[in-house]
Amino acid sequence: MTETEIKLQWDGTAKQAHALIERKGYVISEPRTLENDQLFDLLSGGLRQSDQILRLRRTFSLERGPRAMVTYKGPAKREIYKSREEIEFDVSDPDTFTLVLDRLGYYPGFRYEKYRTMFTTSGEPGIITLDETPIGVYLELEGPQYWIDSTAARLDFPVSQFLNSSYAALYRKHREQHPDAPANMIFDS
């Protein structure tokens, strides 16, 4: 599967973003969930250097309980949008999966957290996510390019505000401006 997406930095509160998304006709498809993402790489940094990602995501929501998912993302094509191959699957035992990665020479690298709420609307092919992160609130639009363009316009965001960066890249930039920030993008408590 090919994932096509952009991020939009939101200057207000998550509550304000949530209200805007619902005013524009979208409804919650996945309730607010804590996502704890751990990236893995070889000691050489080979995955990062080749713009690939191997991620273990652990989530917890009151409605669904705990879940763990592995994601591989291939090298990205970054223009206005970011498009890349994405392969995902659930794992029932994330600790054992991590042990297997260790035996194969992969080590845990960057870790990041966010509270994510997902929105959709009937008859449309994309997903809006509302991400509350330690560095601010972001909207992520994932779907066909025409849908991203029309949805961003409906939310009053011009193309000039599209971001095609990962959270790891956004956090590296944040740390350049805030040298005392921790190495990982995680919440204090």
What integer pLDDT is reported at residue 64 of this predicted model? 80
- Asked if the model's pLDDT at residue 189 lies above 80, the reply is no
Q: What does the pLDDT look like over 81-139, one tens digit per residue?
A: 999 999 999 999 999 999 999 999 999 999 999 999 999 999 999 999 999 999 999 99
Could you give the CA distance from residue 70 to residue 87 in angstroms, rounded to a whole number?
8
Cα–Cα dist 83/81, whole Å: 6
Closest by CA position to 134, among listed 162, 180, 176, 174? 174
Domain boundaries, the chain: 2-177
Q: Which fold has domain 2-177?
A: Hypothetical Protein Pfu-838710-001 (2.40.320)
Enter the pTM of the model. 0.93
